[in-house]
Chains A and B, each alone.
Chain A
Amino acid sequence: MIDKNIRTIRAEIERIDTLPTIPTILKKLLGVIENPKASLTTIGNFVSNDPVLTSRVLRMVNSPVYGFPGRISSVNQSLILLGLNVVRGLLLGVSVFEAMQKAMLGLWEHSLGAAIAARVIAKRKKMNEPEEVSIAALLHDMGKVALSLKFPAEYEKLLSDVEARSLLIYEGEKELFEITHADAGAWVAKRWNFPPNLVEIIEYHHKPHLSKNYPMQTAVVHLADALIRARGFGFAGDMLVPHLNQAAWYSLDLKEQDLKDIMLELEDLLQEAAEFILSDE
């Protein structure tokens, strides 16, 4: 176990001001924002494919500076409220991960895949705000980014331990830190004044039955996470597919045929997503 208590870990996590992204995204980002013709819509489409850029934008728009903290959970709405100049300046300040590049690239694919899957499920369930659920899924693992930023050596070792011992990543995290990436992600989200639904979904995406105020949205992200792992898209940090939470599964009320349809619908979308992250231009 790490030689720190939970309070110290929390304090270190909450001190994070900005999360780094992966090099492939940064390269493309510069291309997007340095283009003088870039509109808020093109920037928005780009940003909403990346968990770190999305979290950066949400943090800014929900900061007390603008006067309406904790209200905005959509990337496009954030960009309109921030304005083009602020957005450019904000995105130019993004840094990149130097370490664990392969694992991080996998995590990015996993996050984007989960966001796509959550949107497909939310639409099929005819939920009011499919975009909101999709953003929550995009951000659900931001705690992993936070932990590997603050404790890079420990987290890298954790990844290989987890693989050697066939553990789920949050089991490994629990052993090492006494907390999981779900806790870490929720701390950051709360600290950055994210809307309450995002905080709750991030916190309970592995225990959806504990979500009090947003049980359906949390269940969707929980299922999206599992489906994307099962599909083998990206890399969430371990090789296993965690058990689907029974209560969440029943509350979603999906048939086996629904699942097949969802998986089918996902294929093309995931193909596009993979090209977005991996293509080199």
Chain B
Amino acid sequence: MNNAVVILSSDIVLSSILQRLIAGRQVICYKEEQPALDFIYHSLPRLLVVQIQDEQSRSVGIINDLKSDPVFGQIPIIAIVPDDLVISSWDRLLADDYLRRSAVERETALRVSLCLSRADRIVEISPLTRLPGNITISRQIQQRLDAGQTFALAYADLDYFKPFNDKYGFSRGDEVIKMVGRLILNLVREQQPQGSFVGHVGGDDFVFIVECDAVEATSTSILSYYSQIVPTFYDAEDRERGSIVSVDREGKQRSFPLMTLSIGIAHNRMRKFVHYGELVEIASDMKKHAKGKKGNAFSIDRRALVKKGDF
């Protein structure tokens, strides 16, 4: 991801006005569509400001093509339109915002910053849990590492989710995922209202970030509420038996226990980390360790410091 703002306009006067108004950012101006696209495809800029003459302009086609691609669709686009242009429907112009030509001088700076901050806020959200996904998760971890914060990263997932899904169908599986997401979010916020974070990696995997001192209490309360609530997602007879009959990965029928939750916890209290991936890997190892324990469990990284004096 590049931090540049790309301006696409054949009007040199407009381009230079825009360049002046979007001060403090790297701004790259293009007069023609093709080189602009080349740059966008290769460097994924933060924002695109495109001038269009009417709904038939070639630049409208470019905006719509970018917006319908999952990778480039995330780039916010502001369309600059003539004062007298009638926009009949936003279905044919997939911009995120627009400015009339006469409002450029007055509004550009604020519109650009609003567009960028909105894009930061909504990034990618899991449609199921409405929690932020992997890009935000990585960014959240990396930002904390870069800022030198000490924190704990917890990685949670469900055991025996697949047989549950196979037996009851994916819509009931989705219900469980939504419940778990909601549960983790609220218990994390209850323990630490400020500065905490919850994300949904995908499937039945979640992460949360809290201060080191809060992570054990948070995990304990998540596991405790989880174990009370999850049986209500089973049919009465399975709930009473405490197990379900479903098929394993080899396609054989066997009995599975009720789903449990395992949480692996990594932290940078005793070791230094530079890259978010290192911390995620340890959390993931710890989660495997927690899965080895019976029932709902968490495991926390207690490996000694790499070098002395890191406390």
Contacts and interface: CB of A to CB of B under 8 A. Distances in A.
B233 interface: yes
B51 to A, nearest CB: 41
Nearest to A197: B236
A73 interface: yes
B175 interface: yes
Contacts of A66: 178, 182
Contacts of A84: 186, 189-190
Contact of B225 (A67, A73, A80, A213): A80
A213 B236 CA distance: 10
Contacts of A151: none
Contacts of B232: 71-73, 195
Nearest to A128: B240
B179 A80 contact: no
A57 B136 CA distance: 32
Q: Is the interface of B mostly helix, strand, loop or mixed?
A: helix
Interface residues of A, number: 17
Interface residues of B, number: 19
Contacts of B174: 67
B183, B185, B229: most-surrounded residue (chain A CB, <10 A): B229
Contact of A83 (B128, B175, B186): B186
Given A40-B190, A80-B186, A74 B228 contact: yes
B228 A67 contact: no
A71 B190 CA distance: 23
A240 interface: no
Given A73-B232, A77-B228, A80-B225, A68 B189 contact: no
A81 interface: yes
Nearest to B187: A80
A168 interface: no
Contacts of B233: 68, 71
B296 to A, nearest CB: 15
Contact of A81 (B128, B176, B179, B189): B179
Contact of A71 (B179, B183, B185, B225): B179
Interface string A25-43: 0000000000000011000
A262 interface: no
Contacts of A213: 236
A152 B179 CA distance: 39
Nearest to A83: B186
B228 A68 contact: no
A99 to B, nearest CB: 37
B217 to A, nearest CB: 13
A82 B186 contact: yes
A213 to B, nearest CB: 8
Contacts of B229: 71-72, 77, 81
B221 to A, nearest CB: 8
A80 B186 CA distance: 6
A50 to B, nearest CB: 22
28 contacts: A40-B186, A40-B190, A66-B178, A66-B182, A67-B128, A67-B175, A67-B179, A68-B175, A68-B179, A71-B229, A71-B232, A71-B233, A72-B229, A72-B232, A73-B232, A74-B228, A77-B225, A77-B228, A80-B183, A80-B186, A80-B225, A81-B182, A82-B186, A83-B182, A83-B185, A83-B186, A84-B186, A195-B232
Q: Which 10 A-B pairs have the closest CB atoms?
A: A67-B178, A83-B186, A68-B175, A71-B232, A81-B182, A68-B179, A77-B229, A80-B225, A80-B186, A68-B178
